[in-house]
Amino acid sequence: MYVADLINEFLESLEVENGRSRYTTRNYELYLSRLLEFQNEFDPENDLKPEDINEEWLRKYRLWLNRYLTERGKNLTVMTQNYHLIALRGFLKYLAKRKIKSLDPVLVELPRTHRAQVTFLYVDELNRIMEQIPLDTEDGLRDKAIFELLFSTGLRVSELVSLNRENVNLSRREFMVRGKGQKDRPVFISQAAADAVQDYLDERKDSLPALFLNNSRNQPMVGTKGDYRRLTPRSIERIINKYVRMAGITKHVTPHTLRHSFATDLLTNGADLRAVQSLLGHSNISTTQIYTHVTDAHLKEVHEKFHSDVE
């Protein structure tokens, strides 16, 4: 069998047997398609077979990834190269499980990366942003609800766009969300966020299931379940950038920045790290520990309060 055929079977197994989301599967499909793109340049006369993947092939593939230029003429970041190698390693594990001879997955080592500093917004910055949102239109009410919900819950943008109206209990101000790895976790909403979402829903005249809709007149009417009107992660990013610019904030702000802001705000106000881990849906607390930088601001205060002076 050829690798191209086996990749298709691997992607199906990710979704069916491993319970991965369609979003994750699409990412794996992109990363593994680059593998075939490399093979087409490396050896265009022959389709790639599992036994062709050896240490020398891997070395050349990694070099190719490091020199790869995107459509915008930019190189792949080290983190993005890692994602490609993680996808390759997962594919090789799949081959090993099926007893198909290929490269040992343990030989696919990942380069070290330096974790970028976490960017977050202070509450006063969030207030400045939300002051820019007009509340006399349906779009404005929607955008305010998006900001409030992201900051109140720490939702990932993929989790936010997949929400339906029926998922969110505004009276109890809590609901369950399915995150990475198909894991469910409880989500709690502030009263301000619940009110903002309710104001938006009260303004809507449709019966579509999606919690947040794209009201663009150019939106194509595709599908039968109303998902053609559902906002996408990219749409959410554009909405956030619009108001960040209007507020004159120069930080690079994405939907994930609001997730960082949610976690940072909790820890600053004394929340337990384990509790924040659960609220964020992190499987490993080491992921949550990137937010412990917020305690640095209190160190001087603690030092002055508890350290004794020598007389």
Residues annotated as catalytic (active site), given as ranges = 156, 180, 256, 259, 282, 291
d(CA 229, CA 216): 9
d(CA 256, CA 150): 9
Closest CA to 93 of 182, 16, 1, 18: 18
Residue type, 294: V
Q: Burial of 305 by CB count in 10 Å (0-12 exposed, 13-18 middle, 19+ buried)?
A: exposed
First vs last C-alpha separation in the chain: 81
d(CA 201, CA 145): 10
d(CA 70, CA 259): 28
d(CA 36, CA 30): 10
